Structure 1
Amino acid sequence: MSAKRMDLNRRTFLVLSGSSNPLGQSLALEFCRRLATGSLALILDEDQQQLRELESLLQNELKTDAVKVKTGRLDKTHSNGVQLMEQALQDYFEEGKQNSFERSIIVHNEGQAATHVLLEPQTDEDWKSYVQQQLYAPVALNQSWLQSKHLAKVEKLAVNVTSSLMIRPLVHAGLLCSCKRARDMYFRAMAAEEYRFGVHVLSFSPGLMASHQSQCDVNGNRITPADLIASKELLQLPRIQPRQATLKLINILEEISFVSGHDVDYYDTFVL
């Protein structure tokens, strides 16, 4: 596969899933700033209050009607994401939009999984519920996006926000690590299978965020990142602000170039 660059200033259908953490909010703002007139951005999350605040932020910051922003509240299992996406597309074209999209981008962000209570569910139902939300739901949304009749013959880019840290075995995070590793393999396989249909895939690790503070385990005990990370080298890496990570991702897409199916870590280079 050859290296690929993308000018984001195209008429785009953007889907961002997992917008409730600071990185998700930055991704929504910076991507929407660059999309061309006639674009549609669908922002998904289960936190209704965060969705309202992000929608208000986008309206104030963009100060233009070039990009239409819609929000959708995910249910507890995130299984309704497919319906929210298809409804947004149907509404868009029923409003008399004559021009089809030039590109579609789907970004699978972590949402609250990046800063949530550290948890090792003990019952079968807890495990199934977690895997449904963190693995099955994103895959189902992705597959529907690939097969949508509204996006037929449209160039596609899928961005999997992952973590070079969280796919390693960590104390208190075995289930999260397992789901992330499975998601990473799914996106690698998708890159190989869908490349011939104009689908590009990038897995991006945004670095150790400044917002990754002390957390609680299931029993309420305070856990610091140092308790989870054994590597002194990793702990010495600079903390990253959400906008830094977002601009790095955009720079990779538009300037540096990427190879579909490959992983890129923020720390691979400090050059923005």
Structure 2
Amino acid sequence: MAAKRMDLRVRTFLVLSGSSNPLGQTLAQELCCRLAAGSVALILDDKQENLKLLEQMLNEQLKPGSVQIFTGVLDENHSNGNQLMEQILRKSSGYGFQRTIIVHNEGDAATHVLMEPQTAQSWTEYVQRQLYAPVSLNQLWLNSKALAGVEKLVINVTSSLQVRPLVYSTLLCSCKRARDMYFRSMASEEKRSDVHVLSYAPGLLKTHEIQCDVNGNIVDPEELIGLSQGQKLPRVQPLQSTLKLINILEETSFVSGHDVDYYDTFVL
């Protein structure tokens, strides 16, 4: 499969799901600043206050009339994302998009959720938010008649750490692995339809926190990685990670369906 490079400065329909953590906020800011005039961005999250602040920040940074910003508050199970996207697509009919991008970020799950849900119901709700909801949203985006014939880019924010078996993270790792396989399969199935897929691991962010499990044991994300003594991965600022992702898309290039880690020296 050939390597792909793309100029982000075209008229784009952007969907970003999961903006409650610093990486999601930075992704929204940096991507929107690069899109051409006439672009539309839909930012989704389950925290209304965060969305309002991010929308205000984006409107202050962007030139008037350049990118139209919409925000949508996801319900408890993130099951209304499809309806929110359909509403914005109806409002944006006739815009003549040259590309559409959907970014599946994890929001707070990336930095605050290491512990397992304790009941069967909470497990079901967790899988609904972390696996079923993003896949459902992605399928609607992929098959939308309003976006038919438009070049498509999917960015799955993943983790080279969290797709491996880890104590305290059974459910998160399982959902991550399932999501990764879904996007890999989609890249193969849709390679002739101008659909490109990149799974990007943003590195160990400074916002990944030391936590305690239900028994009071300290859980350090760096220790969970299992590096040999003396080795230590540098913590990454959200802006560093976002700019590396943009550089991969615009300058370095990537192979659709492949995983790229922030710490990788080469991506091909």
TM range (shorter): over 0.9
Match of 1:147 among 143, 149, 159: 143
Q: Which residue of 2 aligns with 1:18?
A: 18
Match of 2:219 among 223, 230, 242: 223
SS at match of 2:154: strand
Deviation track 1:84-126 (CA, whole Å, cap 9, x = no partner) reads 0010111222xxxx43111000000110101223222232211
CA RMSD between the two structures: 1.7
Q: Which residue of 2 aligns with 1:129?
A: 125
Partners of 2:229 and 2:18 lie apart in 1 by 29
Unmatched 5+ stretches in structure 1: none
Partners of 1:73 and 1:220 lie apart in 2 by 34
Contact 1:120 1:218 in 2 (8 A): no
Change (3 A) 1:143 1:3: same
- The answer to whether 1:119 aligns with 2:118 is no
- The answer to whether 1:172 aligns with 2:168 is yes
Partners of 2:229 and 2:160 lie apart in 1 by 13
Q: Which residue of 1 aligns with 2:208?
A: 212
Deviation track 1:138-179 (CA, whole Å, cap 9, x = no partner) reads 000000001111101100000000000011111111100000
Contact 1:207 1:267 in 2 (8 A): yes
User: How many positions carry a matched residue from both structures?
Assistant: 267
SS at match of 2:263: helix
Partners of 2:56 and 2:214 lie apart in 1 by 34
- The answer to whether 1:182 aligns with 2:178 is yes
Identical-pair percentage: 67
Change (3 A) 1:268 1:233: farther
Change (3 A) 1:104 1:220: farther
230-239 vs 30-39, greater mean Cα deviation? 230-239
Partners of 1:77 and 1:127 lie apart in 2 by 12
SS at match of 1:63: coil
Q: Which residue of 1 aligns with 2:56?
A: 56
Deviation track 1:46-73 (CA, whole Å, cap 9, x = no partner) reads 0111101100111111233210000000
Change (3 A) 1:185 1:42: same
Q: Which residue of 1 aligns with 2:5?
A: 5
TM-superposed deviation, 1:232:
3.3
TM-superposed deviation, 1:220:
5.8
Contact 1:11 1:36 in 2 (8 A): yes
Partners of 2:231 and 2:182 lie apart in 1 by 29
Q: Which residue of 2 aligns with 1:232?
A: 228
Q: Which residue of 2 aligns with 1:35?
A: 35
Contact 1:117 1:218 in 2 (8 A): no
What is the one-letter code of the residue matched to 1:196?
R
TM-superposed deviation, 1:135:
0.3
Q: Which residue of 1 aligns with 2:83?
A: 83
Q: Which residue of 2 aligns with 1:269?
A: 265
